[in-house]
Amino acid sequence: MSALGIARTHVTTKRSMRLLLTICAVVVTGGAGLASWADNPMTAADYAAHPQQMVDAYRHVEAASVSDAIEQLLHEKRYMSHRMQAIFPTKFAGTAVTVLLKREEDHDAGALTGMLKAIDEGGEGSVYVMTVQDGSDIAGMGGLMGTAMAARGYAGAVVDGGVRDIPQLKRIQFPVYALGPVPSTSVGHYRFAGANIPIACDGVEVNPGDIIVADQDGVVVVPKAHAAEILIKAQALDNSEHSMYPFIEKYRSIVEAVQKFGRI
């Protein structure tokens, strides 16, 4: 092959590699905010102006960093307790659709209709956040509700109560945090008390539209009024912590890492 042919082949190969790397980056990030992160990191004002991009960005930060950011900026506890467990390892973020059930023995066939309507009123990226009053041994949701949420594109569900039909929820891979699996029903024992209202879920205030961030560390509630600034802080905390891992592995000292990065 001539020198010119070799040069052309080299250029073509380099272009192909750049294209391949770009495609891989888009696949890994879902394409959302790729240029923003690589060249122009988004500001709190940018995120506030583009709420969907903000929610997408929350899917890439750790719940622990979000919790720390809230504590540092708002001096508040906004994480749910260890009692709130996922039915399988998961990570999601989305906007809260809130539902409240109150204990009431009844024979009213329509007592829980509002609970079901709330599902149909939510959409892509919603998180169903339900409080079942004194309901640790009552299934607030099961396979039918989970299947409906999955079909509508919900990101997940958080239930201050029990959950049932675990095999179906695992089959469709719909993520649910709850107090635990139970075979019971809320039908005949509870009444719908409101949707998209302020509720307390596992002791944490949740308002409709708040951002729910969940991963294997637990569940955090981000107040929508401060979501943009909390995200920026959480991203910075994530970045510093992830930078510390290779430093610690190389120098074998967590003390030196904390001194250098100021994060623990």
> DSSP for 190-221?
EEEEEESS-EEETTEEE-TTPEEEEETTEEEE
Question: 52 pLDDT exceeds 90?
Answer: yes
Question: 48 pLDDT exceeds 50?
Answer: yes
Question: 176 pLDDT exceeds 80?
Answer: yes
Count other Cβ atoms within 10 Å, centred on residue 89. 8
pLDDT on residue 143: 98
pLDDT on residue 4: 42
Lowest-pLDDT choice from 32-36, 53-57, 198-202: 32-36
Cα separation values, 182 from 98, 108, 110, 135, 260, Å:
22, 23, 23, 10, 48
pLDDT tens digits for range 100-113: 999 999 999 999 99
Please say whether the beta carbons of 118 and 149 come within 8 A.
no
Predicted confidence band at 40 (pLDDT cuts at 50, 70, 90)? low
pTM tops 0.95, yes or no: no
Count other Cβ atoms within 10 Å, centred on residue 111. 19
pLDDT on residue 33: 39
Rounded CA separation 95/116 (Å)? 18
